[in-house]
């Protein structure tokens, strides 16, 4: 017997049924926001990620050389693929472009709760608008899809910041090696405070600079008051554009009734290198799990990929953390199979079953019937295992009078009806009888 690879998952049909409900709720919300679905290949050139995804992702790549000698990898995230697609087809597109996709992704990580080697990730992105309205639309969509799944503001927190704020603040401290310092700040929540300080010492920062950074990172809270305080305390005029844009996002989210979900948190920087402005993360409030969403603005990636300047903002949400959070709140759908009708047979009724099943299927019912020559009681047991709502019993003796039996498997209610009537108008007849 073979085992599946570590960090990967199999899904049985009843598990898949629950997942399909979750995914279809997500798709419905995202489409209500005017996002259209795209798809891209699971394999891409290695170079697509070496440009700007960041060291961490590169270290986790599943990469190999193909028979043509090219370095290929399984996509670890969607953003580079989607930008590659956008740049190559930009001339035929009308902007702003609002796209979504739920790809399967691969990262060679150490498997643990909410962290897998193969997972699904919802991506939504808006391309072509620099306006904070685009940022708001993306964050609103994140909040709305969680509400539609059954979460509320007591469950989740959306922490928002802007990378430029932190960079401006670092400049006031005379720090210019942003890359190393931002990397340490991004890791801060996952490591001890001693290790955090060590990372900053290694980036040549002194005690005074580290203390000021820690104070700055801890100043999270209400958007208006915290931002105003920060801007007075630390920032020059040059950062007012960033602060105004963050305040617009906060105001816009408040207008939509989402103020209870959002917090301003300057410690959010995001690990991926391509972000250029607003960044955000969504966590469960109790902080039991890793981040559910991560996203932000990445206005330079299209140009880096050889295209024109196309501003962009979006996020990724992983299915593994979502499932953990939904199970914790008891809102993960029941894992059960569902079937409209199971046709149970007695004797040789093959022709009628073929006709009946074809008509019912053509009318949109999901239908199955016995192909194991089981006796009636075993067919009924099997029908309940399939989650059948109705049982249609077709027996040789009843058929002589043109009759079949319909049983509602939930209530046990049973009626005899004419086979020809079921065949001539199944939807009307079945709903009337049952
Ligand atoms: P990310 O922060 O790398 O961002 O991933 C976003 C989310 O994907 C995480 O918060 C987590 O829920 C899920 N995720 C990531 N890695 C794993 C893993 N190994 N196992 C399970 N879940 C995982 C991005 O990928 C960006 N490309 C998102 C984005 C889209 N930014 C703009 N547009």
Residue 198 — pLDDT band, cuts 50, 70, 90?
Answer: very high
pLDDT tens digits for 130-164?
999 999 999 999 999 999 999 999 999 999 999 99
Residue 236 — pLDDT band, cuts 50, 70, 90?
Answer: low
Tell me whether residue 429 is annotated as binding: no
> Which one of 318, 320, 325, 326 would you pick to mutate in the ligand 1 pocket, going by the greatest count of ligand atoms within 8 A of its CB?
318
Helix (H, G, I), strand (E, B) or coil at 5: coil
Nearest residue CA, atom 28 of ligand 1?
316
Closest C-alpha among 102, 113, 108 to residue 29: 102
Tell me whether residue 79 is annotated as binding: yes
| pTM score, whole prediction | 0.93
According to DSSP, residue 334 is labeled: P
Whether ligand 1 lies within 6 angstroms of the CB of 100 is answered as: no
266 neighbors 164 (Cβ within 8 angstroms):
no
Tell me whether residue 334 is annotated as binding: no
The domain 13-31+107-119+131-328 is classified under which CATH number: 3.40.50.970, 3.30.56.10, 3.30.930.10, 3.30.470.10?
Answer: 3.30.930.10
Whether ligand 1 lies within 6 angstroms of the CB of 116 is answered as: yes
Position 433 pLDDT exceeds 60: no
According to DSSP, residue 112 is labeled: B
Tell me whether residue 125 is annotated as binding: yes
Residue 66 — pLDDT band, cuts 50, 70, 90?
Answer: very high
CATH number of 339-433: 3.40.50.800
Q: What are the start and end residues of each CATH 3.40.50.800 domain in the chain? A: 339-433
How many whole angstroms from 219 Cα to the centroid of ligand 1? 26
How many whole angstroms from 176 Cα to the centroid of ligand 1? 28
pLDDT tens digits for 253-284?
999 999 999 999 988 988 778 899 999 999 99
Tell me whether residue 77 is annotated as binding: yes
Mean pLDDT score, 210-229? 84
Whether ligand 1 lies within 6 angstroms of the CB of 314 is answered as: yes
Nearest residue CA, atom 11 of ligand 1?
318
**Backbone angle region of 73, left / alpha / beta, with phi > 0 → left and psi within -120 to 50 → alpha:** beta
How many whole angstroms from 224 Cα to the centroid of ligand 1? 29
Tell me whether residue 107 is annotated as binding: yes
Non-local CB neighbours of 173 within 8 Å, separated by 6+ positions: 209, 212, 213
Q: Any alpha helices (H) in 363-409, and if so which ranges?
A: 376-385, 396-400
Nearest residue CA, atom 1 of ligand 1?
294
**Backbone angle region of 140, left / alpha / beta, with phi > 0 → left and psi within -120 to 50 → alpha:** alpha
Nearest residue CA, atom 23 of ligand 1?
318
Whether ligand 1 lies within 6 angstroms of the CB of 398 is answered as: no
How many whole angstroms from 293 Cα to the centroid of ligand 1? 7
Share of the chain above pLDDT 90, in %: 75
How many whole angstroms from 105 Cα to the centroid of ligand 1? 9
Whether ligand 1 lies within 6 angstroms of the CB of 320 is answered as: yes
Whether ligand 1 lies within 6 angstroms of the CB of 291 is answered as: yes
Q: Regarding beta strands 104-106 and 71-74, do their DSSP bridges make them parallel or antiparallel, or are they unpaired?
A: unpaired
**Backbone angle region of 34, left / alpha / beta, with phi > 0 → left and psi within -120 to 50 → alpha:** left
Burial 344-370 (b: 16+ CB within 10 A, else e): bbbeebeebbeebbebbeeeebebbbb
Whether ligand 1 lies within 6 angstroms of the CB of 7 is answered as: no
Whether ligand 1 lies within 6 angstroms of the CB of 77 is answered as: yes
Residue 323 — pLDDT band, cuts 50, 70, 90?
Answer: very high
Whether ligand 1 lies within 6 angstroms of the CB of 9 is answered as: no
How many whole angstroms from 291 Cα to the centroid of ligand 1? 8
Q: What are the start and end residues of each CATH 3.30.930.10 domain in the chain? A: 13-31+107-119+131-328
Non-local CB neighbours of 285 within 8 Å, separated by 6+ positions: 154, 155, 156, 157
Whether ligand 1 lies within 6 angstroms of the CB of 186 is answered as: no
pLDDT of residue 272: 79
Mean pLDDT score, 90-97? 97
Q: Give the angle 231-180-295 at the CA atoms, nearest 5°.
A: 65
Q: Is the dihedral of CA 60, 66, 71, 72 positive or negative?
A: negative
């Amino acid at each position: 017997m073979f085992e599946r690879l570590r960090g990967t998952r199999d899904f049985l049909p009843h598990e898949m049924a629950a997942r399909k409900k979750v995914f279809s709720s997500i798709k419905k919300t995202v489409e209500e926001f005017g996002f259209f679905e795209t798809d891209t290949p699971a394999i891409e050139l290695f170079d697509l990620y070496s440009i700007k995804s960041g060291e961490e992702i590169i270290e986790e790549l599943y990469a190999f050389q193909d028979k043509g000698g090219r370095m290929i990898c399984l996509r670890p995230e969607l953003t580079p693929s989607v930008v590659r697609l956008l740049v190559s087809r930009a001339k035929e597109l009308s902007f702003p472009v609002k796209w979504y996709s739920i790809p399967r992704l691969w990262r060679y990580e150490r498997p643990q709760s909410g962290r897998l080697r193969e997972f699904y990730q919802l991506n939504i992105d808006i391309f072509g608008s620099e306006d904070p309205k685009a940022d708001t639309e993306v964050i609103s969509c994140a909040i709305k899809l969680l509400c539609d799944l059954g979460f509320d503001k007591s469950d989740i927190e959306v922490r928002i910041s802007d990378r430029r704020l932190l960079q401006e603040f670092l400049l006031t401290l005379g720090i210019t090696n942003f890359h190393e310092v931002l990397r340490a700040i991004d890791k801060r929540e996952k490591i001890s405070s001693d290790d955090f300080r060590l990372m900053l010492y290694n980036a040549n920062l002194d005690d005074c600079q580290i203390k000021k950074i820690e104070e700055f990172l801890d100043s999270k809270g209400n958007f208006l008051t915290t931002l105003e305080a920060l801007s007075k305390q630390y920032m020059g005029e040059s950062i007012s554009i960033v602060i105004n844009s963050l305040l617009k996002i906060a105001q816009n989210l408040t207008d939509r009734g989402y103020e209870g979900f959002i917090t301003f948190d300057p410690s959010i920087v995001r690990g991926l290198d391509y972000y250029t402005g607003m960044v955000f993360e969504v966590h469960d409030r109790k902080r039991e799990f890793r981040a559910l969403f991560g996203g932000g603005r990445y206005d330079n990636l299209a140009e880096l990929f050889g295209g024109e300047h196309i501003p962009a903002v979006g996020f990724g949400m992983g299915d593994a953390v979502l499932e953990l959070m939904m199970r914790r709140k008891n809102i993960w759908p029941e894992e059960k199979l569902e079937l409209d009708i199971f046709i149970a047979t007695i004797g040789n009724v093959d022709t009628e079953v073929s006709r009946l099943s074809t008509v019912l299927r053509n009318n949109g019912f999901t239908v199955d019937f016995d192909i194991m020559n089981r006796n009636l009681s075993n067919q009924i047991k099997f029908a309940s295992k399939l989650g059948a709502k109705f049982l249609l019993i077709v027996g040789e003796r009843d058929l002589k009078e043109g009759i079949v039996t319909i049983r509602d498997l939930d209530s046990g209610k049973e009626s005899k009806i004419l086979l020809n009537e079921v065949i001539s108008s199944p939807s009307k007849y079945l709903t009337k009888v049952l």
